[in-house]
Amino acid sequence: MQRGTNLGRLGGYNQAVILDAIRRAHEGVARVELVELTGLSPQTISNVVRRLVDEGLVREDRKTVSGPGKPRTLLALEVSSRFAIGIHLDPALVTLVLLNLDGEVVASARYEMPAVGEPDQTVRAMAGHVRELIRSADVAREKILGIGVAAPGPIDVPRGIVVGPPMLHGWESVSLREPLRELTGLPVLLDKDVTAAAVAELWASERAEPENFAFIYLGTGLGAGVVLQGEVLRGATGNIGEIGHFPAQVDVPECFCGRRNCVGMALAFRTLIQQGMDAGLLPPGQDLDKLSLTNEAAYQLCRMARQGQPEALAIFRNAARHLGTAVAHVANLLDVDRIVFGGPWWEGLADFALPMLRQEVQEQFVARAIHEVEVTGSGLGTEVGAIGGACLVLDQTFSPKASGLLLGNPA
């Protein structure tokens, strides 16, 4: 059975289609153009637009065009009429962002995670951070649509529970959605960070054709978010994309899943740091159990590679070969047009790793005679998890999807 959501859609499928067309027309769009873009009747357009203007979501700009004829009225999204909050939960950091309707970050904040093993305290702290974010941005509370939480997997989406991510010690079956909703009074959505990142990429896309891509998320772990035919795929319980456990021809430390050949471990900080010590690039005695994104030794190694240090580059080239093969499997399984790399760890790697990965993926993509697979880095930066959280809310509220018919009023 299809499940409903406590996050209200703003008025029906046709309204979502029209709002989406207005959002994508950055220079403004006339009613007559909307008829053409959406295939809806002028009467429907007129009714829906009136409602969107009344609700403050859309504004009318009278523009004089050169030459004869009366000025045209262009419709534009009122980007500051509503906002969404995104929270990214990382083993080391909690990142919050406030997005406007155009997907722009208007406020953000980062906090260290409270003491390990204190989920209750973390959820209370998150609620406090949300209040502080709203206050600092000076946004009226009624303009906040809701909160989207991007968490490391595994998660239980139907129950809103973080099940016990390997790097969040003490987080075994922690209910997140309900307590956060109670503490903030706002609707709360929960999704895996990799899926949230894919939603963010989809929301930022300017393409007219339905998207087919995999978002390869590099954070403290490795995972993939999947979009096919413009729809975000989640799997039965929201745990799609655990590619970090693909087997690789590699000698790596034991993964938390118990096996010794997981590709995710080929680019885990502890593996890279050990290799850095073995090559004499890092002083011996590094703390290999420090997994978090604040791991200075991992970033130090990364900087050396960026500066062209040959041994450091060799370490990352080796990791990129294994990652590239795993990602090529993803591309071959899903027949995507695009592979997008991103996530908090990606920023440091992009310069030198993207060409390596592009070569690996494209060489192993079986359908390359029929179409190219484009291999790119995300433009959304290190906060893509939190931005993705907020985009879950925007997507749920505004995207024209068939499921919206179940939730809203017909236009």
Report the interface residues with Zn ion, using CB under 5 A: 245, 255, 257, 262
Choose among 155, 158, 176: nearest CA to 166.
155
Least CB distance to Zn ion at residue 369 (A): 33
Helix (H, G, I), strand (E, B) or coil at 89: strand
Q: Which is nearer to Zn ion, 244 or 388 (CB)?
A: 244
Least CB distance to Zn ion at residue 168 (A): 16
H or E stretch at 130: helix 119-137
Least CB distance to Zn ion at residue 346 (A): 21
Q: Which is nearer to Zn ion, 85 or 155 (CB)?
A: 155
Least CB distance to Zn ion at residue 259 (A): 5
For 240-260, b where at least 16 C-beta lie within 10 A, e where not — what string?
bbbbbbbebebebeebeeeee
Q: Which two tokens stand for residue 152?
A: 């490391």
Q: Which is nearer to Zn ion, 61 or 254 (CB)?
A: 254
Q: Which two tokens stand for residue 118?
A: 């204190």
Q: Which is nearer to Zn ion, 184 or 239 (CB)?
A: 239
Residues recorded for the chain: 411
Helices marked H in 138-210 — which ranges? 177-184, 193-204
Q: Which is nearer to Zn ion, 247 or 355 (CB)?
A: 247
CA dist 378 and 342 (Å) reads: 5
Q: Which residue has the tokens 């959280």?
A: 389
Least CB distance to Zn ion at residue 266 (A): 11
Helix (H, G, I), strand (E, B) or coil at 88: strand
Chain centroid to Cα 328, Å, comes to 21
Q: Which two tokens stand for residue 301?
A: 């190694």
CA dist 272 and 69 (Å) reads: 66
What's the half-sphere exposure (Cβ side, CA atoms, 13 Å) at 150? 33
**Phi/psi zone of residue 157: left (φ > 0), alpha (ψ -120 to 50 degrees), beta?**
alpha
Looking at residue 367, the DSSP 8-state letter turns out to be: G
Integer angstrom CA distances of residue 203 from 1, 76, 273, 384:
26, 17, 35, 12
The torsion angles phi and psi of 106, rounded to 5 degrees, stand at -100, -15
Least CB distance to Zn ion at residue 216 (A): 16
Least CB distance to Zn ion at residue 158 (A): 25
Q: Which is nearer to Zn ion, 193 or 201 (CB)?
A: 193
Least CB distance to Zn ion at residue 245 (A): 4
Contact 137, 174 (CB under 8 A): no
Q: Which is nearer to Zn ion, 262 or 297 (CB)?
A: 262
Least CB distance to Zn ion at residue 45 (A): 52
